[in-house]
Amino acid sequence: MTADAPDVLDPATASRYAATGLANVAREYPNHPMHLLTGPDDLGRAPSQLHPLFFGSNDWHSSVHQHWMLVRLLRRHPDLPEAPAIRDWFTQRCTSEAVAAEVDYLADPARRTWERPYGWAWLLTLAAELRAGAATDRDLDRWDATLAPLAETVRERSLEWLRSTVYPQRSGTHANSAFACGLLHDAAVVTNDAPLTAAVGEAALRWYGRDEGYAAGFEPSANDFLSPVLVEADLLRRVLGAGEFAGWLHRLLPDPSPLTRPAVVSDRTDPQTVHLDGLNLSRAWCWAAIGDALPSGDALAELARDAAARHRDAALPEVLGGDYVGEHWLPTFAIYLLDRTAA
């Protein structure tokens, strides 16, 4: 690692990410709202009118997970120089009126699948992060209660999706089912949500339990920020026991070697190509988690740990200080990687 990209989340690194996150959530433009027009009254509304809480960071889901990053950093490093600004931001923006507007937007039946599943999973991840700190931090407790109506709306829709959907989505971008399920599973564990935990586990086995013989050489696609097979494996290691997971993984990936080489990012000003920096980050945390989940002595464990380090080293130096097309979302992936095992 370089001095500009340490592999631990020390206070100085946390401060840099917090400053970037604060700038991102407050930046309204450029904005890619993915706004479904249901009538003429939907025209001409600014992002901050449509989404008074999650209007920044270029799009709704990026705003949500940048907010998660800010709470995560605040919890891990409560003495950050940016901590007062983070608290001020949430106090001003995470209000009952703002949350009600977010709920109203989703309430339209025409928007029943809007931001499914990626935005939903990050919203419940944010809610779980607030809940995790609520017992010891009055601000987080208040924001948790304020966000609860939106979290409950998204939770109910997530349960419906998990229980009713026959086939998974295996792309390397936002629609991917396995990545969302991994986030939903971890959020449900934090909030002691047994029905959601069970629904994720049942869907994971239904969708992926019989997979085998994956042709890893076909990855990546040009705009992937997730490896379809590695996020699948990262999900199943949560659901299966260690021995069962190892057997399943070896059947799934007879030749994992194509996934051990970091993706080449040719143009970081291209909003699609820069996704590949995110792919390297997400591969890093998937490989690390897979290596930890395999039994001692499993031959794939050493390969997994080496691949995790190679992808981490390729991606972390590129997260901050680049073009906004990457910087509005990549910091979240970096923090998820750097702090993935933190309480």
Domain boundaries, the chain: 11-34+47-338
**CA–CA separation, 15 and 83 (whole Å):** 9
Q: Which pLDDT score, from 0 to 100, does residue 7 have?
A: 61
Binning pLDDT at 50, 70 and 90, where does residue 154 land?
very high
Alpha-helix runs per DSSP H in the chain: 11-26, 47-50, 60-76, 83-93, 96-107, 118-134, 138-164, 177-190, 194-208, 228-239, 242-252, 275-293, 299-315, 324-327, 330-338
Rounded Cα distance between 81 and 135, Å, is 23
Residue range 95-119: mean pLDDT, rounded:
96
Q: What local confidence, expressed as pLDDT, does residue 3 receive?
A: 40
- 215-225 mean pLDDT: 98
Q: Write down the residue that tokens 């080293």 correspond to.
A: 313
Q: Model-level pTM?
A: 0.96
How much is the average pLDDT of 164-169?
98
Class of the CATH-defined domain 11-34+47-338? mainly alpha
Residue 8, pLDDT > 90, answer no
Q: Point out the least confidently predicted range of 5-14, 113-122, 141-150.
A: 5-14
Say what the pLDDT of residue 2 is: 40
- List strand residue ranges (DSSP E) for 2-142, in order: none
78: Cβ contacts below 8 Å, ≥ 6 apart = 137
Q: Is 341 a residue whose pLDDT tops 50? A: no
Q: What is the pLDDT of residues 286-322, one digit of tens each?
A: 999 999 999 989 999 999 999 999 999 999 999 999 9
Q: What secondary structure does DSSP assign to 240-253, as a single string? A: S-HHHHHHHHHHH-
pLDDT of 339 reads 86
Nearest to 82 by CA among 39, 135, 23: 23
